[in-house]
Amino acid sequence: MRKKLIVGNWKMNGRRAMANELCSTIMHEMQNFKNIDVTLCPPFILLDEVRKMTADSECMLGAQDLDMHNDGAYTGQVSAGMLKDAGCEWVIIGHSERRTLFGETNLTVGKKAKQALDHGLKPIVCVGETEGERKAGQETSIVQGQLQSVIDEIGIDSCKDMTIAYEPVWAIGTGLTATPEEAQTMHAFIREQLDLQHDETAKACRILYGGSMKQDNAGSLLGCPDIDGGLIGGASLNAGEFLGICRSA
Ligand code: PEP
């Protein structure tokens, strides 16, 4: 039985005061969420603030990206070792905003996933098709390509330590959500791809859904057999919404 995982991706939002307020509201209910995993991914500069706020709870800490290199002359970048040192257990990799706005490719996503695993961080690797790709009937081939390039880099045996987030690009931050049927179909496809290569990995690997998940649609999505949690963007900035999703999980 895979434990549900709810991840809050704050994106480039927040100040220390906001982090304090949001975390303290979430912390009031954390003791009710013993049966699920909860992770918060604030911007780098707020990691320490959130670490302190969540230190006495089961809530885990994650980053939104990392550099594919070890420490060195990479001005402005943040390494896997630094994230570990800051208390992170998780790191989001290959978010569609990173792919479309910052030129990340399947190759760099694979290298970042490897870098995370090599440093004991758990990667949450994002995959998902654009609206145009879905309209052209290419959604499964796009997702398969994104997934396979990570598997090629890290090896199928390491995939048990990876979490996959299926995030249809057309649903991210748009208010449009994949229907439970659309999401379940893609999640089952992703699991099948893993199963073809290693059945134990396919059973163990958590596959999250992301794309305008909110408290009022979370229950139907999280009730699908292959949806093991959610990667939450906008709604993770609202304590009431985020807690509502955690309750659904
Ligand atoms: C995300 O950023 O990963 C995301 C799913 O955003 P939103 O929930 O706002 O669609």
Least confident of 42-46, 107-111, 162-166, 198-202: 198-202
Residue 188 has pLDDT above 90, yes or no: yes
List the catalytic residues.
Answer: 95, 167
The pLDDT tens digits for 12-32 are 999 999 999 999 999 999 999
The pLDDT tens digits for 95-131 are 999 999 999 999 999 999 999 999 999 999 999 999 9
Q: How far is the CA of 202 from the centre of ligand 1 (A)?
A: 24
Q: Which of 110, 105, 211, 108 is nearest to 165 (CA)?
A: 211
The pLDDT tens digits for 208-241 are 999 999 999 999 999 999 999 999 999 999 999 9
Q: For residue 1, name the pLDDT band (cuts at 50, 70, 90).
A: confident
Task: Give nearest CA residue, ligand 1 atom 1.
Answer: 233
Q: Is the CB of 9 under 6 A from ligand 1?
A: yes
